[in-house]
Chain A
Amino acid sequence: MKQLMTGNDAMAEAAIQAGCRYYFGYPITPQNEFTAYMARHMPQVGGTFIQSESEIAAINMVMGASAAGGRAMTSSSSPGISLKQEGISYIAGDQLPAVILNVVRGGPGLGNIAPAQCDYFQATRGGGHGDYRCIVLAPSTVQEGTELIQDAFDLAEKYRNPVLILSDGRMGQMMEPVEFKPRPKVETPPKDYILTGKKGRERRIIRSLFLKEPELEAWNKIIQEKLMKIEENEIRYETKMVEDADLILIAYGTCARNSKEALRTLREKGRKVGVFRPITLWPFPYYALSEVVRGARAALVVEMSAGQMVEDVYLAVKGTRPIFFYGRMGGIVPSATEIVQQSEKIFTEKM
C-alpha cells in the first residue's frame, strides 16, 4: 500500500524497518523531520534515541553503538556533516559499520537551508583525514531513498565501512507516494569484532592507532583491498534512452529528476538525448559512464554545485568526448527548462 510521506519521514521509517535501533542526532535544517521521526518512533520499537550535545558527539555515539554490535545511524545536513568528519574517519579507520544521512543544503559556511549538491567532493573523497572512502548512495525519489537507506545498513555491515546517503533539501522535504515493501533478509557476515566483554573468548580491541609504520601500512592495505572489492561489486547506476543518444545528460539525485524531464521535452523535439544517473557516487560508475558517453557525441553534466561530479566525469571519459557543465549554486535547482536550453545550445553550437 502506498502512502504519501516526505523524504525525511519515509527514510526514517525505512531505517527503522531495516533494523536500525540506535539513532543519535542533533537538530539542523533541512533534516529535522528525520530526527523528529526517530524521536517519536524509536521508543515504540524498543530502540534508543538520543539528541546529542553536538554532531561530533552524535557520530561518536554511533561509533560506540556500532562497536557494541548495534545497528546505528546519524543524520544531519552539510555543516553538521562537516563536524562529523572526524568521527567518520575513526569509524573508517576502525572498520566499523555506520550509516550517515546528509540532507545537503547550500554552502559554504552557514550557506542556507535550500537543496544543494555542493558536498559531493566531501562525500566521495572520504571527507575526513586519511585514506578511506565512504560508500555514497544518492537517491532521486523518496521511494528510492527508502530502499537505499535499507541497503545502506547491509552494505555497512557487509564491508564494515561507513555508508553515506546523499539526499538534499528537496528530497527531504518533498512528499511522494511510497511503499514499504517486505525485504528479503540479507545475510551479513557474523560480527566477530564487536565488544561485549571478553567472556569465553580472547579479548578484542577496536582501534585505528598503529604506531609502527609497517603495521599501519598493512592496516591501510586491508582497507584498500576492501574498497577495491566494493568497487568491483557495488557500483549502481541508471540509464535512460542512452542507446541512440547524441547527448548524454549526467546527473544524480534531484538534478537527475529534472534531467529526465528535460529528456522528454528534448526527445519530443527530436533531439536524441539520454540520461545517465549514478546511484553510487562512490564507487563511481567510471567504466559504465565512459562506455555510454563514447557511444554518444557529447555529454552535459548537471549539478546543484559549481561543478564537482563533473570531475569524475572527466576522469571517466578521459577527453574522448566533449563534456559540458551546467550548475546552479546557492540552493537553486536547475530547472528542466534550463537543462533543455543548455542542451539545445550544445546541439546548435557545439555539434
Chain B
Amino acid sequence: MQTTKSHPKSLFPVSTHYCAGCGHGIVHRMIAETFDELGIQDRTIGVAPVGCSVLMYNYIDVDTIEAAHGRAPATATGLKRVRPDCIVFTYQGDGDLASIGTAEIIHAANRGENFTTVFINNAIYGMTGGQMAPTTLIGQKTETSPYGRKSENEGYPLRACEMLATLEAPYYIERVSVATPAKIRKAKKAIFKAFKYQVEGRGFTFVEVVSTCPTNWGMSPTDAMKWSEEYMEKAFPLGVFRDRGAEKDKTETGADK
C-alpha cells in the first residue's frame, strides 16, 4: 500500500489562517506540488500580496518578500532581473491585481517579464471584510455595494485574462477554477505549465484561478463552490487565452496545417 497523494514537501504541514472552505489552501497546495515536481523549491522566490494571502509564506516554504498593495509585479520584476536563474512568482488577489495594481500587472506582462503570476479571483476583498472588488459580479452585494453592484455606477467585472491577452508579450494565460475536483485537476495542470514555461525561460505566464470567499459571500463552502460554478464562471469563462508553447508545437508538428 502506497501513499498516492502525500503532503507536498514545499508546503508546511500546518493549519492555515484561512477561513473554512477558502480556495487559497487549494491553490497553495497546487503551487507547492508544482515546486516539488519541477524541483525548484530551492531556487524559488515568492512575492506575497496585500490581502488574506500576505501570509502565504507561513505555508509555502520558499524565500518570500511582501510587496506593497498591487506592486507585486514591479517587485517581482526587480527580483527576476537581478536573479534570472531564480523562479519568481507573484500571488495576488483581485483587489491587489485588478484594482490598485492594474498598471503594474499590465506593464510587467507587456514587458514579458519572465515570472509567473497566480491571480486569485473571488470577486471580493477578503481581508478588509468583504468590499466590492473590480471583479465583483453585477448585482453582487458586498459591504460597499450593499444594493448590488450596478454597472451604471461601478462598471462591469474586470476580466484580467482577456485584458492581458490583448498584449503581444505574455507567453501563457489561462483561467481555471477550483469549483470541482475535476476543475482543480485542470487548474493544477495550468499552474504546472506556467512554472514549467518560466523554468524554460519562455516569458510571462499568468494563471487566473476563479475561487471563492464563503465568509464574505455569506455562504457555506459547498454553496460557494456551486455559486462560483454557476455565476463566476459565466462572468469569467474558463480556458486558455494564450499558449505560445502550444502554438509553437502546432507549428513545429504541422498539426494544425
* Interface set of A (CB-CB < 8 Å, partner B): 22, 24, 48, 50, 52-54, 56-58, 60-70, 72, 86-87, 90, 94, 195-200, 203-209
Contacts and interface: CB of A to CB of B under 8 A. Distances in A.
Instruction: Give the residue among A22, A52, A60, A204 with the most B Cβ atoms within 10 A.
Output: A60
Contact of B78 (A64, A196, A198, A200): A64
Give the secondary structure class of A's interface: mixed
Given A64-B79, A67-B79, A205 B63 contact: yes
B86 A64 contact: no
Give the size category of B's interface with A.
35 or more
Interface string B57-80: 100011111111001001111111
Interface string B82-106: 1100110000000000000001101
Contacts of A58: 74
30 contacts: A50-B111, A52-B107, A58-B74, A61-B77, A62-B78, A64-B77, A64-B82, A66-B78, A67-B75, A67-B79, A68-B45, A70-B78, A195-B79, A195-B83, A195-B86, A196-B83, A197-B43, A197-B44, A197-B45, A197-B63, A197-B83, A198-B63, A199-B42, A203-B64, A204-B64, A205-B64, A207-B57, A207-B64, A207-B65, A209-B54
Given A64-B65, A198-B62, A205-B63, A24 B103 contact: no
Given A50-B111, A197-B62, A207-B66, 8 more contacts: A57-B77, A65-B78, A197-B43, A203-B62, A205-B64, A207-B48, A207-B64, A209-B55
B74 A68 contact: no
Given A53-B103, A198-B41, A208 B66 contact: yes
B81 interface: yes
Interface of B: 41-45, 47-48, 54-55, 57, 61-68, 71, 74-83, 86-87, 103-104, 106-107, 111
A129 to B, nearest CB: 11
A65 B103 contact: no
B63 A196 contact: yes
Contacts of B103: 53-54, 56-57
B112 to A, nearest CB: 12
A24 B75 CA distance: 11
Instruction: Give the residue among A52, A61, A70, A198 with the most B Cβ atoms within 10 A.
Output: A61
